[in-house]
Structure 1
């Protein structure tokens, strides 16, 4: 059982927020699930700078290296299925049997994303009409965008952000994640699992908070 950090994850470090305090409350019994101070604007900026700094090395790493880490993350999620499903249940009010299916979908996204990456990327060359007696060809190449901001929703707090995070990481992008203020505990645990999987510093950053944090990002 992993302990909630109740902090933000910036450049590989857990840090206390500088914004206003907010809470996650279990809608079933009104019990407290998670409580912390939101990330301030300067912390959002620090997360973006960390992601930009980490981008070149991550983008230039081999696909095999990135996939090894991402697959380890899937293994960590599987090992912590019950805890993650419990947090989803407590923060969304869904029954445990249903939230376990969300965890399974979160794990399954890794294999689906790897397959899609291979199907949709790679270099494609097309012969074009000769110009001035010279052979001409058009080449299509894929490259990562850079830093990606992912905003997580309340209704599927593990599966839907994961559906953007995993493909983005496979492609070599770096990320700043801002979950719903109603489901911070789920992302707290998920980031810990990414950390345990060996994701390098700055590649995936977490800023928690309400409207002000989202606007800053």
Structure 2
């Protein structure tokens, strides 16, 4: 399912709360909508949160301001933007996750009165940049299914290009780890508090080289498995 479709369901559960008017809150932060927060929202959120999107628009300050408290709660709980994979474990294409600094900035802005500042500083949203990249064109893609607690040992050198979780129920977690023959450990992906509506293939930003003899292990619920795509280059 595409990220924008997942957003619609997140909004029903979270940001569909009645927006809170905070017009009289004291301003206690130097972070502003026009200079900092709009840039984060435009980069991470407006693929869904715009006119014609699947959720309410957050493009303008007038549209975003009433939702400041709800936005704070969603980003703190890592429910928005929806992704599923824990940041810092694996590097993936089209990852919309907020960085820790971005979360901190949004929270401080919302708690500090959500000020606007001079509109002259407001950037123009680039809707063309929101188009998702198609899966990379890779040669000789082959797939293997790995089941929970049944390690897979590679019989030859390989490059892992993507991971797709299977049979992972709502609320479950999945940790896929590669144990290299020299003793090094490569954490491929960690899915936490998973939701089936997030179902997707996670493409690594760059294929991960795994030498012959590497053991790949899934730690998850008994029914879970995953498809790992390997490429020659």
Q: Could you state the TM-score of these two structures normalised by the residue count of structure 2?
A: 0.25
Q: Which has the higher contact order (CA 8 A, sep 6+)?
A: 1
Name which one, 1 or 2, has greater alpha-carbon Rg. Answer: 2
Higher helix fraction: Structure 1 or Structure 2? 1
